């Protein structure tokens, strides 16, 4: 894989930008294109660090349904390391999606703690939790939640609007991400004009808009055929290799799970 820009290359780009901004942008774009040209076959799985980025400590989650109490998770503990690609697996109703929601700060445990990127999510008030999610975590869901009245490029741009990123930076990043996921020709289209695989690629680009450290994906291939499913997983691998991102993916498909670094298996709300 073509290496990232060296400090010397960055200094050269900055010097060029000072003298001729247009030529500098052309040079940077060419560097990005060289990096993006790498094929999935040439990517080897990078070794993850020994730094914990997600730690679950005795997580329990109980819901009330009328007079009933339903325990979705019971005493779940594990560690995920920075740069890992981990699959959460188990039968329907085993607690996979509940666990992913706790990791992403979309819900809070009944007891236990979840520590993400050195932050104890239990201790964050709602406003700070929302800011943390927006900056640290990218979400991809089985149902893609693209706004039907927004064109593809604007759909991808939405997260950075909430982050108050400058418009010029937003639009440049959208352009880069659309090219990165192979949807440059579809940028002006509405979601209804896209295929299922294209919509999922758009959802991935949208999740990457704020440069998150962690990507959480809940059954991202659940509505796709086998060819598109494998293509999406290969795209995840490329993203992980290129950006050093941690990826946690929920799946019930053993073939998809086998493509991750390792599995965390759940049964009836507990780890196997």
Any idea what the CATH number is for the domain that residue 160 is in?
Answer: 3.40.50.300
| 100 and 15 inside one domain | no
| 22 and 93 inside one domain | no
**What is the pLDDT, as a whole number, of residue 263?**
96
Q: Provide the token pair at 61.
A: 């989650």
Share of the chain above pLDDT 90, in %: 51
| 24 and 88 inside one domain | no
Residue 228 lies in a domain: yes
pLDDT, tens only, 138-182: 999 876 678 889 999 999 998 888 777 888 888 898 999 999 899
Longest dimension (CA), the chain: 71
- SS3 sequence, the chain? CCCCCCHHHHHHHHHHHHHCHHHHHHHHHHHHHHHHCCCHHHCCCCCCCCCEEEEEEEEEEEEEECCEEEEEEEEEEEEEECCCEEEEECCCCCCHHHHHHHHCCCCCCCEEEEEECCEEHHHCCHHHHHHHHHHHEEEEECCCCCCCCCCHHHHHHHHHHHCCCCHHHHHHHHHHHHHHCCCHHHCCCCHHHCCHHHHHHHHHHHHCCCCCCEEEEECCCCCCCHHHHHHHHHHHHHHHHHHCCEEEEECCCHHHHCCCCEEEEEECCEEC
Residue 139 lies in a domain: yes
The Cβ of residue 114 has, within 10 Å, a number of other Cβ atoms equal to: 22
Q: Provide the token pair at 126.
A: 């709602």
Pick the more confident residue, 10 or 184. 184
Per the listing, tokens 């999406």 go with 232
pLDDT, tens only, 35-69: 444 333 334 455 567 899 999 999 999 998 888 89
**What is the pLDDT, as a whole number, of residue 147?**
87
Q: Residue 224 — very low, low, confident or very high, per pLDDT cuts 50/70/90?
A: confident
Residue 61 lies in a domain: no
Section 203-216 average pLDDT:
92
Domain extent, residue 210, equals 83-106+122-272
Residue 71 lies in a domain: no
Residue 112 lies in a domain: no
Taking a C-beta distance cutoff of 8 angstroms, is the pair 261, 48 a contact?
yes
pLDDT, tens only, 82-93: 999 999 999 999
Q: How far is CA 213 from CA 132, 134, 140, in A?
A: 11, 11, 14
The Cα–Cα gap between 265 and 263 comes to 6
| 131 and 247 inside one domain | yes
Tally of domains in the chain = 2
Instruction: Report the mean per-residue pLDDT for the chain.
Output: 83
| 8 and 97 inside one domain | no
Q: How far is CA 242 from CA 92, 96, 180, in A?
A: 32, 27, 11
Residue 73 lies in a domain: no
């Amino acid at each position: 894989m073509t290496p990232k820009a060296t400090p010397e290359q960055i200094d050269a780009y900055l010097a060029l930008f000072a003298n001729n901004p247009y030529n500098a942008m052309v040079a940077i774009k060419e560097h990005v294109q060289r990096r993006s040209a790498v094929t999935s076959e040439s990517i080897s799985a990078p070794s993850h660090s020994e730094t914990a980025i997600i730690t679950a400590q005795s997580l329990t989650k109980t819901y009330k349904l009328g007079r009933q109490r339903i325990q979705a998770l019971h005493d779940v503990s594990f560690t995920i390391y920075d740069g890992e690609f981990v699959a959460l697996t188990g039968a329907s109703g085993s607690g996979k999606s509940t666990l992913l929601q706790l990791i992403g700060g979309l819900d809070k445990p009944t007891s236990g703690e979840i520590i993400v990127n050195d932050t104890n999510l239990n201790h964050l008030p709602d406003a700070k939790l929302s800011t943390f999610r927006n900056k640290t975590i990218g979400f991809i869901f089985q149902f893609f939640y693209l706004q039907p009245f927004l064109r593809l490029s604007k759909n991808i741009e939405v997260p950075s609007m909430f982050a108050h990123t400058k418009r010029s930076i937003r639009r440049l990043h959208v352009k880069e991400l659309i090219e990165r996921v192979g949807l440059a020709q579809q940028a002006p289209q509405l979601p209804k004009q896209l295929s299922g695989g294209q919509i999922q690629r758009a959802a991935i680009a949208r999740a990457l808009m704020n440069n998150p450290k962690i990507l959480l994906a809940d059954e991202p291939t659940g509505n796709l055929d086998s060819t598109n499913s494998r293509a999406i997983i290969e795209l995840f691998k490329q993203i992980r290799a290129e950006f050093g991102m941690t990826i946690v993916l929920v799946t019930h498909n053993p073939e998809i799970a086998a493509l991750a670094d390792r599995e965390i298996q759940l049964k009836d709300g507990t780890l196997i």
